[in-house]
Structure 1
Amino acid sequence: MSVITRDEAQLRAQFLDVHRYSIELDLTTGDETFDSRTVIRFSARTDGDTFVELKPAELRAVTLDGQPLDPETFEDERLPLRNLTAGEHELLVEAVMPYSRTGEGMHRFTDPTDGETYVYTQLFLDDVQRVFAAFDQPDLKAVFELTVTAPDGWNVLANGITEHLGEGRWRAAPTPPISTYLVAVAAGPWHSVRTEHRGLPFGIHCRRSLAPHLEADAEEILEVTRACFDRYHEKFEEPYPFDSYDQAFVPEFNAGAMENPGLVTFRDEFVFRSAVTETERQTRAMVIAHEMAHMWFGDLVTLRWWDDIWLNESFAEYMGYQTTAEATRFTDTWTDFGVARKAWGYDADQRPSTHPVAPEAVDDTAAALLNFDGISYAKGASALRQLVAWLGEKDFLAGINIHFKRHRFANATLADFIDSLAAATERDVHAWADAWLRTTGVDTLTPAVESVDGVCTLAVDHAGSRPHRVTVGLYDRDLGDEGRGRLTLRERIGLDVPQGAPESIGKRPAVILLNDGDLTYAKVRFDADSFEAVRTGLSGLPDPLTRAVVWNALRDTVRDGELPPQAYLETARAHLPLETDLAIVQGVLAFASTHVADRFLRPEDRPAALATLSSLCRDLLRRTEDGDNPGLRLVAVRHFIDVAAHPDTIAAWLADGTVPGGPELDPELRWRILVRLAVLGATDEAAIAAELERDPSATGREGAATCRAALPDPEAKRAAWESMFVTDDLSNYLFTATARGFWQPEQADLVREYVPRYYEDAVALAARRGPAIAVAAGRWAFPYHAVDAEALALGEACLNEADPVVALRRKLVDELDDLARALRVRGE
């Protein structure tokens, strides 16, 4: 891949203006490649040289202003344009382009259910060159005209409204000026549900094999879409800036979704084919709102360079959660954010790879791609939530609307945004930005309580550099609730940290909770009395967001080695059976099983931990026998399967096709059970093949890959390893599915020989297959359960000696830091 540096991008932006792209794609030329013809109309401001990016299978022809250029000058995915004169120019590039199986560029997928084929683009961050020739950087916006030739029976979707011209030819309406990475096309025999809203065509689309499932949820998806669309028009003075709004649920998508203007692409796991919880529906709604926010934050006003990616992602993350809570039935989104997203930010911010929300050192596109992480999303959104608490929503939205007006269909920087905020408020937002957006790390807030004559004062010890506006919850015990010790809210007080003086809080409360309401981004600690009170009374706290703050604090103390992992499990065992919020139950069980039991505890302590979690899940199953809370029951069933130490119960469920008392086993639960049986050595290839025949879908194919890799058999491990690291024919999803099955804590001795092999093979694989597979190799194929000093030394030697590509290096740095943390928690 051609990697462009910031310096090159700045020089190119100073040298030329790009006006219009006319792109013709022919998708009828075979299964491996497609034809791409691009005409770029641009102007040079002075005489000079520049280049366009392209990664073709074959470069057929190039002409500049009607004169042919020598294709032999093409090198390193760059086509040089030399001796340009000041003025208007027209470049024509004809090429044969390869389809992708890794979710980058033009991804091609054949549905195993019915044999139908689909293609779609994912051009972010710098994968435009995989589809058409371009000056590929975000600040060279242009109008895009697209024509596509597709097989008979296909429909073509694009950024603008598409028109079928006959004989397989489709034409999309020209776009307003947008960045190259936002161009989108999706072609295939899509199943579509179309409607109109506010005079604009709306559509949702999926593979034909998923049509019944999309139809079942179509009204919910469209209701969320309409509600969020209307809410944004209440918030933003700038109307929706494009001619239509399509949402396509596409297969084997690398991200959650992508904000292509007028054609948002989502991973098609959001078309639910099995039972899901209300929290999972809420997540889908939030992603819809997140991507819609990008139509303004990112598409209308776009970052100038990738150091300001937070201007896209942090805003969309914040607006997605806030708008979903305001406009839809999913009003509890910030609890889900606190449990599922904020921990992602905290973890990322404590690793060696941490960076400011608005980093300054983003030297090239390869480095930029690394910053799409918990900092740019979760920490950035948390910073904005804190900004709103400090600034007030009225001034915040006024600043945003000034920003849109100043930079519509153009590019902007952090400085531009802060200037827009400053125009709307008298507060010093420049100082706030320096403190919050240009620094790294997590502050820690700890209460310090003093009592004189029965009257307490509260000071907040502040380890860190940022100012915080926090709410402090004061809770008293209420023994009237059948003696259970329910904690009742006495009052919430607002504090600015650092404080001018300690705050008088009257009689000593049972619990003092800093950051009650979760309005700032900081680790929270307890004084000794509060710590004991929350551990005994956590489930008695009245507000789920309050409980989420406490659970996050306990999680942090485990990770920091202050709370023994067993104590976290004991707390979960005591309080989760009484928890009513699904996001909390799901988040705590996931951390308890994946981190505490599988990593933070020594192997000899793991069986007891699994027994504790299994017993907890049985309690949840008993609690939900009446059928009143199917979502909670589904969470309990899933986690009971995942922590099963013996196969008998779950094997009986699979044989019967149901859990006693419900639910019936749908494909997701059947594959989940079969994976666990494979790990335990209680199934075989014949059973896997039979299940795949029962469910021959793409998801079924992935489930089978996970099962086969999970079998405790040397030959199964060898075959799985070879498929991942040798043959290079797995798609991105099948690679991840195989990797998910390979490493299992129950099979440590069986796979021990693969730990040193991993580093050599992953380095070679990442260099061959590119960033998407490099990231998957670092995230999913990493030997997560090899928690010992030898494994850490092997990884450090790889970093020092093997020179992995930057995408893999970043993942390895983070994974090895997590490994070192696990060893510290174990006391090793």
Structure 2
Amino acid sequence: MGRHLAERVLRRVHGLPDPHRSQPRGVRGDSPRKWGTDTWTDFGVTRKPWGYDADQRPSTHPVAPEAVDDTASALLNFDGISYAKGASALRQLVAWLGEKDFLAGINTHFTRHKFGNATLADFIDSLAAATERDVHAWADSWLRTTGVDTLTPDITTAPDGTCALTVERDGSRPHRITVGLYDRDLNDEARLTLRRRLELDIPQDPAEPQPLGKRPALLLLNDGDLTYAKVRFDPESFTTVRAALSGLPDPLTRAVVWNALRNAVRDGHLPPTAYLQTARAHLPHETDLALVQGVLAFATTHVAGRYLSAADRPAALATLTDLCRDLIRRTEDGSQPGLRLTAVRHLIDVAAHPDTLSSWLSEGTVPGGPELDPELRWRILGRLAVLGAIDDDVIEAELVQDPSASGQEGAARCRAALPDPESKRRAWEEMFTTDHLSNYLFTATAQGFWQPEQADLVRAYVERYWTDAVAVAARRGPAIAAAAGRWAFPAHAVSPDTLRRGEQCLREADPIPALRRKLVDELDDLARALRVREA
């Protein structure tokens, strides 16, 4: 029994389907390895950034803290660190130990503690019994500390033209990583071919750099995404990435590259416009749905919505619109419905003019598909509301057709997004004065209220937010406090004045813990956006 449990744990670590459980729809039973790679690609590009972001905020915490003050604090820690970083640490543990020793360790653990309870210390003891490596030190550095290590390649060239690699580590954790060496395809300059992969233990002895042979066109640290760390590129590799990212053969490799570019933007090392240009050049050729979703989400919400100034936003939306149109054209044959649906959704979100969306809405379908289900109809109506192309009557008519709970949320989101003073006043009172909105309707209203295109219209509410959010959180408790801190926060208002007012609120207004946690995180994100703009 222990052997089977060990195998199931290992499958979960690698993102492989469990043969003892039913597989997701659309997954071929004869290709588990491919599905597993795709699953970790999905995790790497959609969930792992959640961990990276959370781990760089003031509210960061260890994966396994020594102690938690109370249950309220424990609930706040169910976040990207506990989930995304925790899963990534487990994957790194398997790579660091090796599968053989890991399996032996967890089999020992199951045998020792069958039909009983066990602690983290018991688990670490079991793994330590199966290896000569210092698992207790590994656990202390990985599970008891906070923050993200950064790995940077340093490539030196000898007189004979051969190269060697030393990996510089900004951080304190041990890592076992794979380094991918890629060359230009001699028959197609837009494609890259894998020369080989090297396994390295970090920290590396600086006196013994890793020989590479001739310099590769691209050297990629953490190829295969075995560890949890930010990775950088050497200048030549970065040039290659900008020119040939879509020519990398493995979607998981492309996910590692896209995450590296994302982190570079957030850290002020890569201009947001360069990220958009890279997406415009390579995303139309992407075949992995998770990668398209992840890149478009970051480009829309963070790059166009926060990191670029209001003056630069129209050009960014135009770039994203063209990109989505290319994806829609590429999927006209119906062979990739998921990719097409993703492109349609994001085109709706970035549309700067109402004509195309109004046409889709009136016809009930996107030409060539998909037909508009309620989710797409409300999404279109939400964007049309932002653009001032519909009114309350249109929203009410749609609500008659879809009076479901999701329809109620869609209507609330649309009403709050209407670009007129009365709609904004009414939405604000519903969120912060009347106290009659459910948690879901509060969130939907908040999601519609702040729009970058309406910054002048809602400017006065940015000042009111700090007092009103503290008050509603105190009246209505942690759930509404979390929604007020996350969804009702004026994230679009990236300015030193917004940051100053928020920091003053934390010092003087005494928000309840659930709201304070969200405000601390949102203000840290706002400060990061300011640094990106100034870089």
Shared fold (TM-score greater than 0.5)? yes
Aligned pair 1:602/2:316, yes or no? Answer: no
Matches of residues 8-407 of structure 1 in structure 2 within 5 Å? 235-236=4-5, 319=12, 322-324=15-17, 328=23, 329=27, 330-331=35-36, 332-407=38-113
Aligned pair 1:549/2:242, yes or no? Answer: no
Matches of residues 626-641 of structure 1 in structure 2 within 5 Å? 626-641=333-348
Q: How far apart, CA to CA, are the structure 2 residues paired with 1:791 and 1:539?
A: 39
Aligned pair 1:495/2:194, yes or no? Answer: no
Deviation of 1:757 (Å):
1.5
**RCO comparison, higher one (Cα < 8 Å, 6+):** 2
What amino acid maps onto 1:475 in structure 2? Y
Q: How far apart, CA to CA, are the structure 1 residues paired with 2:315 and 2:374?
A: 30
Match of 2:519 among 806, 812, 823: 812
What amino acid maps onto 1:524 in structure 2? V
Aligned partners of 2:13 and 2:87 also within 8 Å: no
Aligned partners of 1:720 and 1:738 also within 8 Å: yes
What amino acid maps onto 2:393 in structure 1? A
| Number of residue equivalences | 519
Q: Return closer, same or farther for 1:772/1:401 CA change in 2, 3 Å cut-off.
A: farther
Stretch moving more, 402-411 or 463-472: 402-411
The equivalent of 1:533 in structure 2 is 240
Matches of residues 691-710 of structure 1 in structure 2 within 5 Å? 691-710=398-417
Q: Return closer, same or farther for 1:683/1:409 CA change in 2, 3 Å cut-off.
A: farther
The equivalent of 1:800 in structure 2 is 507
TM-score (norm: length of structure 1): 0.61
Tell me the secondary structure at the aligned position of residue 491 of structure 1. Answer: strand
Aligned partners of 1:766 and 1:774 also within 8 Å: yes
Aligned partners of 1:707 and 1:741 also within 8 Å: yes
Q: How far apart, CA to CA, are the structure 2 residues paired with 1:324 and 1:672?
A: 33
Aligned pair 1:430/2:136, yes or no? Answer: yes
Deviation of 1:410 (Å):
5.5
Q: How far apart, CA to CA, are the structure 2 residues paired with 1:746 and 1:788?
A: 16
Aligned partners of 1:593 and 1:643 also within 8 Å: yes
Q: Return closer, same or farther for 1:237/1:593 CA change in 2, 3 Å cut-off.
A: closer
Q: How far apart, CA to CA, are the structure 1 residues paired with 2:506 and 2:111?
A: 47
Deviation of 1:361 (Å):
4.2
Aligned pair 1:765/2:472, yes or no? Answer: yes
What amino acid maps onto 1:722 in structure 2? E
Aligned pair 1:782/2:489, yes or no? Answer: yes
Q: How far apart, CA to CA, are the structure 2 residues paired with 1:664 and 1:382?
A: 38
Aligned partners of 2:3 and 2:107 also within 8 Å: no
Cα deviation, 1:276-297, whole Å, max 9, x if unaligned, reads xxxxxxxxxxxxxxxxx9xxxx
Stretch moving more, 491-500 or 724-733: 724-733
What amino acid maps onto 2:130 in structure 1? A
Q: How far apart, CA to CA, are the structure 1 residues paired with 2:318 and 2:16?
A: 41
Q: How far apart, CA to CA, are the structure 2 residues paired with 1:596 and 1:325?
A: 38
The equivalent of 1:613 in structure 2 is 320
- Comparing both structures, which one devotes a greater share of its residues to strand? 1
The equivalent of 1:749 in structure 2 is 456
The equivalent of 1:739 in structure 2 is 446
Q: How far apart, CA to CA, are the structure 2 residues paired with 1:767 and 1:785?
A: 25
Aligned partners of 1:325 and 1:333 also within 8 Å: no
Cα deviation, 1:368-419, whole Å, max 9, x if unaligned, reads 1221111111111111100001112343344334444555676543322212
Q: How far apart, CA to CA, are the structure 1 residues paired with 2:4 and 2:491?
A: 44
Aligned partners of 1:456 and 1:504 also within 8 Å: yes
Q: How far apart, CA to CA, are the structure 2 residues paired with 1:749 and 1:406?
A: 65
Match of 1:416 among 108, 116, 122: 122
Q: How far apart, CA to CA, are the structure 2 residues paired with 1:558 and 1:325?
A: 37
Q: How far apart, CA to CA, are the structure 1 residues paired with 2:214 and 2:328?
A: 41
Aligned partners of 1:236 and 1:397 also within 8 Å: no
Aligned partners of 1:472 and 1:495 also within 8 Å: yes
Q: How far apart, CA to CA, are the structure 1 residues paired with 2:117 and 2:145?
A: 24
What amino acid maps onto 1:494 in structure 2? E
What amino acid maps onto 1:319 in structure 2? R
Q: Return closer, same or farther for 1:412/1:751 CA change in 2, 3 Å cut-off.
A: farther
Tell me the secondary structure at the aligned position of residue 257 of structure 2. Answer: helix
Q: How far apart, CA to CA, are the structure 2 residues paired with 1:397 and 1:371?
A: 29
Aligned partners of 1:479 and 1:485 also within 8 Å: no
Q: Return closer, same or farther for 1:237/1:518 CA change in 2, 3 Å cut-off.
A: closer
Cα deviation, 1:669-711, whole Å, max 9, x if unaligned, reads 1110000000101001111111111111111111111111111
Match of 2:220 among 481, 491, 513: 513
The equivalent of 2:31 in structure 1 is none
Match of 1:581 among 288, 301, 311: 288
Cα deviation, 1:233-265, whole Å, max 9, x if unaligned, reads 863179xxxxxxxxxxxxxxxxxxxxxxxxxxx
Tell me the secondary structure at the aligned position of residue 448 of structure 1. Answer: strand
Cα deviation, 1:721-758, whole Å, max 9, x if unaligned, reads 12212222222211111111011101111111111211
Q: Return closer, same or farther for 1:631/1:559 CA change in 2, 3 Å cut-off.
A: same
Tell me the secondary structure at the aligned position of residue 442 of structure 1. Answer: coil
Tell me the secondary structure at the aligned position of residue 236 of structure 1. Answer: helix
Aligned partners of 1:597 and 1:609 also within 8 Å: yes
Q: How far apart, CA to CA, are the structure 2 residues paired with 1:347 and 1:635?
A: 24
TM-score (norm: length of structure 2): 0.93
Q: How far apart, CA to CA, are the structure 1 residues paired with 2:337 and 2:487?
A: 30
Aligned partners of 2:2 and 2:107 also within 8 Å: no
Cα deviation, 1:320-354, whole Å, max 9, x if unaligned, reads 77243777424311001110011111111111111
Aligned partners of 1:321 and 1:337 also within 8 Å: no
The equivalent of 1:439 in structure 2 is 145
Q: Which runs of 5+ in 2 are unaligned?
A: 28-34
Tell me the secondary structure at the aligned position of residue 475 of structure 1. Answer: strand
Cα deviation, 1:439-467, whole Å, max 9, x if unaligned, reads 11111111111111111111111111111
What CA RMSD, in Å, does the superposition of the two structures yield over aligned residues?
2.0
What amino acid maps onto 2:343 in structure 1? A
The equivalent of 1:561 in structure 2 is 268
- Comparing both structures, which one devotes a greater share of its residues to helix? 2
Aligned partners of 1:235 and 1:397 also within 8 Å: no
Q: How far apart, CA to CA, are the structure 2 residues paired with 1:825 and 1:588?
A: 18
The equivalent of 2:30 in structure 1 is none
Match of 1:730 among 432, 437, 442: 437
The equivalent of 2:229 in structure 1 is 522
Q: How far apart, CA to CA, are the structure 2 residues paired with 1:782 and 1:405?
A: 50
Q: How far apart, CA to CA, are the structure 1 residues paired with 2:321 and 2:302?
A: 16
